[in-house]
Chain A
């Protein structure tokens, strides 16, 4: 039953693995959210995680940049590596870690500040204090996410006044401004209308060149379109498991697991 996780892991390690987890488990109090997840995230590739609701995908993402530190009664075991660094180590500088591992949430969460400050505040905290530099970065990342022409005249307006799709692209731009190496994206399109969703999807696909992207999605078609690797989460014994992980083509065309096969062909497991 346990799938060939490790084989897959080895298969992928031959390329440039930027981040990987080993037997990662997480529990909230007594409830185990997911268990024994081993996965690799490659440089310049998009890795997609799919699976039913509640199987621990979001929780998994928040382990990777130690956002779990903020959650009460949450316990993580197993190992996570960013290059050679042990992310779980207490000595790790979480601020530096989170700068290198960006996180986009399911729900857009711009700060209740004006657009410009949404970028300036984190940039200043990370040492970019010069106004001109900040302006340049803002323009560049807003262009990257295709938002520049929509908002260039309203940088002093509240970010909360933007539409949902614009907010989400703003959040992506805000993460990009810090030049992360890994981008974690938690269902970035789920709160958006089909058109915004398409825009964001194209954006993710274009991010592939520069970043290692790990994206959670409920949209299998989307995963098929953009992903290089796919991991399938499933709930078993009331806890999440990674039942399949491999190259997208292989997972979609010849899944090794019955549940995966059923899931991608639209049946219920």
Chain B
């Protein structure tokens, strides 16, 4: 049997041989790949800044708030109507979608029979991924004419809020569903054995325990709503004006970029990148906020 001993790269010595170390190569190849992946975010920020700089260096941030209106061909760069547009559409949709999403999650977890609950969850998962252009298209051909009958012109803040609500509801519902799923079963049993009703249990036990998850979900959703472009662009009318009623058309920051990038040059292009940079900053801030909530609240949920 000694014949095998020679065949197997038999190390009578245990010193690292000078043999080529594939593990080392592998790890470094993987590290380079991961470094590229990790660098993408930095690259995005860097390029947004680079493209924004021409504007910011010459004019600063002032014009975005003090110019008379948004008219890049005349050199006027007031962003405020678009900021209002984004803010109102986002707030409106988050305010409507949050309760609906949370109730949807409650339905899955506590109200529906298991089979229906699972089916509903699959439906919501599906809806979270449906192309936004499909929602936008439906909004354009079905929703806008409906609103138009109610109050012309139809393409309006209201249409934007409705479409955004439909689009972000699944996200909230999924995050809420996940955080309800993490509430320990004993809590529920304990509450039920105290004679609390289902709704009472949900208010007094489930919500407090799932609080941080819900917050994180809402924050993620805000990011999604702010960033949504195509669907909003298709239903909101895109008039650059601060809306005075919910039936007025609006233009959001994202829609503005999508509409004008194709032909924007010089300062105009640079100004659009500034708005992109602002969007990016908001997203990072939201991510930090979500992180802070998760970190600060996790010990509480553990103890309670």
A–B touch (CB < 8 A): the answer is yes
| A interface residues, Cβ below 8 angstroms from B | 82, 85, 87, 91-93, 96-97, 99-100, 123, 126-128, 133, 137, 140, 178-179
B8 at interface (Cβ–Cβ under 8 A)?
A: yes
With a cutoff of 8 Å between Cβ atoms, the chain B residues found around residue A97 in the complex are 11, 14
- Contact flags B9-21 to A (C-beta < 8 A → 1, else 0): 1110111110000
Using A100-B14, A178-B8, A179-B8 as known contacts, list a sample of 15 further A-B pairs with CB atoms less than 8 Å apart, ordered by residue number in A. A82-B14, A92-B14, A92-B16, A93-B14, A96-B11, A96-B14, A96-B17, A99-B11, A123-B8, A126-B8, A126-B9, A127-B9, A128-B4, A128-B8, A179-B1
A-B pairs, top 9 by smallest CB distance, nearest first, are A96-B11, A127-B9, A85-B14, A93-B16, A126-B8, A92-B14, A128-B7, A96-B14, A91-B16
With a cutoff of 8 Å between Cβ atoms, the chain A residues found around residue B7 in the complex are 127-128, 133
B302 at interface (Cβ–Cβ under 8 A)?
A: no
Pairs across A and B, CB under 8 Å, 12 listed: A85-B13, A92-B15, A92-B16, A96-B9, A96-B11, A100-B11, A123-B8, A127-B7, A128-B8, A133-B7, A137-B4, A179-B4
**Assembled-state Cα–Cα distance A140/B3 (Å):** 14
B149 at interface (Cβ–Cβ under 8 A)?
A: no
**Assembled-state Cα–Cα distance A38/B15 (Å):** 24
With a cutoff of 8 Å between Cβ atoms, the chain A residues found around residue B11 in the complex are 93, 96-97, 99-100
| B interface residues, Cβ below 8 angstroms from A | 1, 4-5, 7-11, 13-17
**Assembled-state Cα–Cα distance A100/B14 (Å):** 10
With a cutoff of 8 Å between Cβ atoms, the chain B residues found around residue A85 in the complex are 13-14
In the complex, the number of residue pairs spanning A and B with C-beta atoms less than 8 Å apart equals: 44
With a cutoff of 8 Å between Cβ atoms, the chain A residues found around residue B16 in the complex are 91-93
**Assembled-state Cα–Cα distance A123/B15 (Å):** 21
**Assembled-state Cα–Cα distance A249/B10 (Å):** 36
**Assembled-state Cα–Cα distance A87/B14 (Å):** 9
What is the distance, in angstroms, from B288's C-beta to the closest C-beta of chain A? 27
With a cutoff of 8 Å between Cβ atoms, the chain B residues found around residue A123 in the complex are 8
**Assembled-state Cα–Cα distance A31/B13 (Å):** 34
Q: Is the CB of B8 within 8 A of A99?
A: yes
Q: Is the CB of A91 within 8 A of B15?
A: yes
**Assembled-state Cα–Cα distance A106/B7 (Å):** 30
Chain A's interface: helix, strand, loop or mixed, by majority?
A: mixed
Name A84's closest neighbour in chain B (CB-CB): B14
Name A97's closest neighbour in chain B (CB-CB): B14
What is the distance, in angstroms, from B251's C-beta to the closest C-beta of chain A? 51
What is the distance, in angstroms, from A238's C-beta to the closest C-beta of chain B? 22
What is the distance, in angstroms, from B184's C-beta to the closest C-beta of chain A? 25
With a cutoff of 8 Å between Cβ atoms, the chain B residues found around residue A179 in the complex are 1, 4-5, 8
What is the distance, in angstroms, from A135's C-beta to the closest C-beta of chain B? 13
What is the distance, in angstroms, from B101's C-beta to the closest C-beta of chain A? 37
With a cutoff of 8 Å between Cβ atoms, the chain A residues found around residue B13 in the complex are 85, 96
What is the distance, in angstroms, from B210's C-beta to the closest C-beta of chain A? 30
With a cutoff of 8 Å between Cβ atoms, the chain B residues found around residue A99 in the complex are 8, 10-11
**Assembled-state Cα–Cα distance A137/B8 (Å):** 12
Name A86's closest neighbour in chain B (CB-CB): B14
What is the distance, in angstroms, from B156's C-beta to the closest C-beta of chain A? 55
**Assembled-state Cα–Cα distance A140/B14 (Å):** 27
**Assembled-state Cα–Cα distance A97/B15 (Å):** 9
With a cutoff of 8 Å between Cβ atoms, the chain B residues found around residue A137 in the complex are 4
With a cutoff of 8 Å between Cβ atoms, the chain B residues found around residue A178 in the complex are 8
With a cutoff of 8 Å between Cβ atoms, the chain A residues found around residue B17 in the complex are 93, 96
What is the distance, in angstroms, from B16's C-beta to the closest C-beta of chain A? 5
**Assembled-state Cα–Cα distance A222/B7 (Å):** 36
**Assembled-state Cα–Cα distance A93/B14 (Å):** 5
**Assembled-state Cα–Cα distance A56/B14 (Å):** 27
What is the distance, in angstroms, from B19's C-beta to the closest C-beta of chain A? 9
With a cutoff of 8 Å between Cβ atoms, the chain A residues found around residue B5 in the complex are 179
What is the distance, in angstroms, from A91's C-beta to the closest C-beta of chain B? 6
Given the known A-B contacts A128-B4, A137-B4, A179-B4, are A93 and B9 also in contact in the complex, defined by CB atoms under 8 Å?
no
Name A92's closest neighbour in chain B (CB-CB): B14
With a cutoff of 8 Å between Cβ atoms, the chain B residues found around residue A93 in the complex are 11, 14-17
What is the distance, in angstroms, from B69's C-beta to the closest C-beta of chain A? 58
What is the distance, in angstroms, from B231's C-beta to the closest C-beta of chain A? 44
With a cutoff of 8 Å between Cβ atoms, the chain B residues found around residue A126 in the complex are 8-9
Name B6's closest neighbour in chain A (CB-CB): A127
Q: Which of B5, B11, B14, B16 has the most CB of A within 10 A?
A: B14
**Assembled-state Cα–Cα distance A97/B14 (Å):** 6
What is the distance, in angstroms, from B15's C-beta to the closest C-beta of chain A? 6
What is the distance, in angstroms, from A206's C-beta to the closest C-beta of chain B? 15
With a cutoff of 8 Å between Cβ atoms, the chain B residues found around residue A96 in the complex are 9, 11, 13-14, 17
With a cutoff of 8 Å between Cβ atoms, the chain B residues found around residue A92 in the complex are 14-16
Name B2's closest neighbour in chain A (CB-CB): A179
With a cutoff of 8 Å between Cβ atoms, the chain B residues found around residue A100 in the complex are 11, 14
Name A93's closest neighbour in chain B (CB-CB): B16
Name A125's closest neighbour in chain B (CB-CB): B9
Name B8's closest neighbour in chain A (CB-CB): A126
**Assembled-state Cα–Cα distance A215/B14 (Å):** 24
